[in-house]
Amino acid sequence: MTMFAGLIVPGEPQNVSVEALNSTTISIRWDPPNQNEKHGVIRGYQIHVQEIGEDGDSLLNQPIRFDVLDGSARSYNVTDLQPDTKYAVQVAALTRKGDGLRSKKVNVKTPGGVPSRPDLTLK
């Protein structure tokens, strides 16, 4: 049982997986916390996406947070990411008592983007 500031919050979502769909979009899938760790009605999920540095360990910038306000959701696509970049992804369940434990980090790397066609100005 996880106590957080005197409240019992949900345990971590299970079986989190992340897949790069293209150079700027990743798809995240998860299962809800174990039944005995829900501690209330799951109202939604919070997804944290944070860039990983070149060394593969350090986290850069602040995590980007996405709120999925659907307790039955099991997947979410994050768009507008940078091409050819590594990200760490975590998912937390939300109840009225707050957000629960974050899942273990799952790393994903977006593929390199296709260079855009240069703008040609004809004179």
* Per-residue model confidence as pLDDT tens digits over 8-64: 889 999 999 999 999 999 999 999 999 999 999 999 999 999 999 988 889 999 999
pLDDT at 119 over 90: no
pTM above 0.75, yes or no: yes
Q: Tell me, yes or no, whether 123 lies in a domain.
A: no
Classify residue 96 as left (phi > 0), alpha (psi -120 to 50) or beta: alpha
pLDDT of residue 116: 62
pLDDT of residue 1: 47
Q: Tell me, yes or no, whether 64 lies in a domain.
A: yes
CATH of the domain at 43: 2.60.40.10
Instruction: Kindly provide the b/e burial profile for residues 10-42, where b requires at least 16 CB atoms within 10 angstroms of the residue's own CB.
Output: bbbbeebebebeeebebebebebbeeebbbeeb
Domain hosting 26: range is 3-109
Q: Tell me, yes or no, whether 116 lies in a domain.
A: no
Q: Tell me, yes or no, whether 49 lies in a domain.
A: yes
Q: Tell me, yes or no, whether 117 lies in a domain.
A: no
pLDDT at 92 over 90: yes
pLDDT of residue 98: 87
Q: Tell me, yes or no, whether 122 lies in a domain.
A: no
Domain count, the chain: 1
Q: Tell me, yes or no, whether 115 lies in a domain.
A: no
Please state, in angstroms and rounded to a whole number, the distance separating the CA atoms of residues 78 and 12. 20
